[in-house]
Amino acid sequence: MVSPAPFWGAPTSYLNFCEEDYAITRYVAEFINTLSSFVYIVYGLYGLHQLHKRGQSGPRSIPYCGLIGVGVCSAGYHMTLKYHTQMSDELSMHLLTTPLLYRILSFQATPQYTKAAGSILSILFTIVMVVHMVMDEFLLHAVSFGTAVLVITIRTLRIIPREIRDQKVRGGVSRVALFGVASFAFGYFVWLIDEFACGVLLSAREVVALPVGFLFELHGWWHVFTAIGGYIAVAIIDLITSGEVERDSVEKLAWPLPVVGKVLGDGVGETETGGEGKRK
């Protein structure tokens, strides 16, 4: 039987990942990569919901909207595998990191420094995107995005001990932040496996068949783990820069972070303080 023609036509994006195109339905090029992109949207909506519950919005909602944007653009890209949707996906990554960079770099800064940081970030964002889209220069996009993630990570981990005086609260936030770093790093690790061991993964999927074969769609797992890491970055930076870190802050974060904070907290508390971490 001849398979129906792909709804979106032949791929025009210059990246194609280790998932068979249109294997599930003619309407979605990469089914698991598209479906897993919705994890970003779920985390972004949860963050917006938490802000709404506290009666807060405005600029604080921008990074959560950025997280939603990454999910929407990623899903559109993997669903169609078109050049213009690939560009929107890569653009959305910078639309998430740039506001986070601005917020973390301008935190407690002078008005002059804040203005300069905003201007420089705007110029850099424009240069990266214009060069990337006009010249198809992928390396600049990848390096600038990786650098932004690195700066956000280092800056946030330095600010946490300085701004959170309560030892127990500081420990919980730090552990969640480090879990976010580990999630992002692991996501990148499985992305590399998906890129360089595609033949092995395809063979494994044929052996185990569906639905177990979906577990070997590693680019989809990259989406899941980077969505967790991205949400943690947005949520932790929002808590710190807004000055609203409380004793139950970790418990109010999206799953699985309350569990992570509790499990890691109990272990660290017993090991480092000999049970002192459990005292009220």
CA separation for the pair 143, 90 (Å, rounded): 12
Residue 52 among known ligand-binding residues: no
- 274 Cβ contact list (under 8 Å, min separation 6): none
**C-alpha to C-alpha distance for 63 and 102, rounded to whole angstroms:** 11
Nearest CA among 200, 265, 272, 227 for reference residue 33: 227
163 is in an annotated binding site: no
Is residue 223 a known part of a binding site? yes
Does 219 count as an annotated binding residue? yes
19 is in an annotated binding site: yes
Q: Which residues lie closer than 8 Å to 210 by C-beta, 6 or more apart?
A: none
Structure tokens at 234: 């947005």
The burial class, CB within 10 Å (0-12 / 13-18 / 19+), for 246 is: exposed
Binding residues for Ca(2+): 19, 30
Q: Which residues are annotated as a binding site?
A: 19, 30, 78, 219, 223
Q: Which residues make up each annotated binding site for Zn(2+)?
A: 78, 219, 223
